[in-house]
Chains A and B, each alone.
Chain A
Amino acid sequence: MRWRDAMRFSWGGLRAFGSRTVLMTLSMAIGVGAVVVLTALGEGARGYVVNQFSALGSNLLIVFPGRTETGGSGTGMLIGQTARDLTLDDALALTRAPAIAAVAPLTVGTALMAFGGRSRETTVLGSTAQWKHIRRVELQAGRFLPDSDPRGATPVCVIGRTVRDELFGSEIAVGKQVRIGDRRYRVIGVMAPHGQSLGFNMDEIIVVPVAAAQALFNTSSLLRILVEARSRADIPRAKTQAEAILQARHEGERDVTVVTQDAVLETFDRILRALTLAVGGIAGISLSVAGILIMNVMLIAVSQRRQEIGLLKAVGATRGQIRALFLTEAAILACLGAMAGLAAGLGGSALIRHVYPALPAYAPAWSIAAALLTAGLTAVIFTLLPARRAARLDPVLALSRR
């Protein structure tokens, strides 16, 4: 039998049982579509995180107080004290390291900011002039924090776009006096819109000199220190140098953690890739459910079409040909279902991208290939049994009933 004739004949068989064919195609399509959409979503999440990190500035290292490592009993444990705080002097000491280009100490808190009759709870970020450079921040008006001694608590602030809009409306903000907590500050600059970055809405913060923030929140410690290496190649050296300097300053105690942006990014990348694989796999299960449905329906088809099978045998069809005809039906079903599912999946991904533009939800090529392959394989594998049953049908019995 020629394969084109087999295709035509099988297609005729599928058409003769339209609603059954539509249902099987639908189950296949749902499986493929689910794999495509879910992996697209996972990839989107991954892409989103990667984008967030690259917006952070390259060659970045972050210094946290405390050490995430289990060791023997250190002095800190004996005297019942937790990790030593990072201080402004620690941050300033880091600028001496040859592999480090810039250092920005960071203190964060929230305070009530007021201007005229309006006030607003705002995230206050204490840092230095270097922060603008490290975080690649652009100004819309005025200037950033002065590059003076970071220990000086100059009462000036730079405000985010949303803060400006909400407190000043159409007024000019630069030069105005505002109240933050119980202190007065002069607005010297307005940041250009930046949007979300690592869970911060950059448009809703205000930046003040680090010493001013420490005074405001009555603390001498820093949340973290952002460090920029001189180049990408300098990142590992910048890390060792920063660790050495802080160890020396903390009486030989290694009580800080320095992470590189790459390391953080890689971790997120790994986690989210695993997540994508997991959801893809779960969606893949729906494909095998579709396979079982196909097997079920094919078994019914074989018993409903006994006469046809018996007749085919009487006019000379071999077992192999009968098997081939049923497998061809399955293959056609798989193709239809896979195409419909792919179209739905790609459409769904496009819809997600339309609704959440920040999420680059593109299904990765491997997941599309895997979905199509799984669809084809399940359809064929789950039809093997019904096809075998059809091929073994006794033609006399098959033809004996009307």
Chain B
Amino acid sequence: MISLRGIERVFQVGDQPVHALRGIDLEIEAGSYVSLMGPSGSGKSTLLNIIGLLDRASAGKYLLDGRDVTALSDEQHAQVRRDKIGFVFQFFHLIARLSAQQNVELPMLLAGIPAAQRVKRSGALLERYGLANRAHHKPEQLSGGQRQRVAIARATVMQPPVLLADEPTGNLDRASGRDVVQILEDLHTSGTTLIVVTHDPALGQRAHRRLRLVDGRIEQDLRE
């Protein structure tokens, strides 16, 4: 379903080209649970961003559901992100002036979904994640765990087949982290492809397929 061939990513730092990714070949089947691990600067976030179409590869081919997305325009990338990919970030990235529910509605707002349907779907998700009584709170009135659950609701409200999480527990205490992992794994169980970038070996070990990146190359690919 996700198919990367010969993916390179080169950043220009001053006049020095820096290879963040070198010749990545990777197939991820639909419904997998994959963790990306590796030291800082190994390129795992860059890889996640390329899979999420937030970033473009310098070279190589990327097929998503059999469709070559490397050649798509920025506008088309935006649409693919909206409909097929959900992002969960370490720092939540909720919009401070919007309530929890409005944050969850955001992707639907951009997709032009009518207000009544937005309220229904976001309300249902918040309830499922145990935030029904926090729907009208601003992010600053929520705990870290609650914020990340709002962010997960936002990432899944368009029911994307792929969920990408970049250090989803990196900014949470252990208990909140467990809740968040539970939610993510439940989503995986119900069929979503889950790719998690993490430093935390405990979290990484939970994945069914574990990739280890070093210096922009896949060094280890373990499957259960």
Contact = CB atoms under 8 A, between A and B. Distances in A.
Interface of A: 1-2, 5, 9, 12-13, 15-16, 307-308, 310-321, 395-396, 399, 402
B97 A316 contact: no
A3 to B, nearest CB: 10
B81 interface: yes
A315 B96 CA distance: 16
Given A307-B93, A396-B55, A316 B81 contact: yes
Interface string B105-138: 0110111101100000000000000000000000
A1 B95 contact: no
Contacts of A321: 78, 110
Q: Which of A15, A314, A321 has the most CB of B within 10 A?
A: A314
B52 interface: yes
Contact of B74 (A5, A318, A399): A318
B75 A1 contact: no
B87 interface: yes
Interface in B79-93: 79, 81-83, 87, 89, 91, 93
B109 A5 contact: yes
15 contacts: A2-B112, A2-B114, A13-B97, A16-B96, A307-B93, A311-B95, A315-B106, A316-B79, A316-B83, A316-B107, A318-B74, A318-B78, A318-B79, A396-B54, A399-B54
A139 B79 CA distance: 86
A13 B106 CA distance: 14
B78 to A, nearest CB: 4
B97 A312 contact: no
Nearest to B171: A402
A402 B93 CA distance: 9
Contacts of A311: 93, 95
B126 to A, nearest CB: 16
A12 B115 CA distance: 16
B54 A313 contact: yes
A314 B109 contact: no
Interface residues of B, number: 30
A114 B109 CA distance: 88
Interface of B: 49, 52, 54-55, 74-75, 78-79, 81-83, 87, 89, 91, 93, 95-98, 106-107, 109-112, 114-115, 154-155, 158
B78 A316 contact: yes
Contacts of A9: 109
A33 B48 CA distance: 53
Nearest to A311: B93
Given A12-B98, A396-B54, A396-B55, A317 B93 contact: no
Given A395-B54, A396-B49, A315 B107 contact: yes
A388 to B, nearest CB: 13
B201 to A, nearest CB: 24
A313 B110 CA distance: 10
B97 A16 contact: yes
B9 to A, nearest CB: 11
B89 A315 contact: no
Contact of A402 (B75, B91, B97): B91
A76 B89 CA distance: 98
A315 B112 CA distance: 13
A312 to B, nearest CB: 7
Nearest to A400: B45
Nearest to B84: A316
Nearest to B113: A2
A155 B129 CA distance: 108
A1 B109 contact: yes
Given A313-B54, A315-B82, 9 more contacts: A9-B109, A13-B97, A314-B52, A316-B79, A316-B110, A317-B78, A318-B75, A318-B79, A399-B93
A1 B81 CA distance: 15
Contacts of B93: 307, 310-311, 314, 399
Contacts of A395: 54
B142 to A, nearest CB: 16
Contacts of B82: 315-317
A320 B75 contact: yes
A315 B95 contact: no
A308 B95 CA distance: 6
A16 B96 CA distance: 9
Contacts of A320: 75
